[in-house]
Amino acid sequence: QLQLQESGPGLVKPSETLSLTCTVSGGSISSSSYYWGWIRQPPGKGLEWIGTIYYSGSTYYNPSLKSRVTISVDTSKNQFSLRLSSVTAADTAVYYCGRLGISAYYYKWFDPWGQGILVTVSS
């Protein structure tokens, strides 16, 4: 059974860079059938897609975050990572990683998700 686990610092200072890693177990991140993504959720608010990556390194980013976001993949470690630069309090959120399944006709959906990690931006 595929599982995803987020890891990284739970506290980041304003103006610094948030860095998180998602470790995939029970399956290969190099599968041609899937993409991998990051989604976040500020406390008490809704879900916001951050970006998506394919094992080859192709990426897609939320236009509202694109200037600050980098998503990368390390197939040797079965991991993918998120870097978000110049963070502010508005970036405080639970950050989830997820697998993006793709079917015929390019239907796409996130399943499963990691348990999430709360990252607080504060000095």
Contact set with another protein (CB under 8 A): 37, 46-49, 52, 60, 62-63, 96, 101, 103, 105, 107-116
Q: Say which DSSP state 56 is in.
A: T
Quote the CA–CA distance of 118 and 107 in Å, as a whole number: 29
CB of 4 to another protein, least distance (A): 9
Q: Which helix (H) or strand (E) holds 94?
A: strand 93-102
Rank residues 16 and 70 by Cβ distance to another protein and give the closer one: 70
Q: And the tokens for 59? A: 């990426």
CB of 109 to another protein, least distance (A): 4
CB of 90 to another protein, least distance (A): 17
Rank residues 16 and 49 by Cβ distance to another protein and give the closer one: 49
Q: Is the dihedral of CA 26, 28, 49, 85 positive or negative?
A: positive
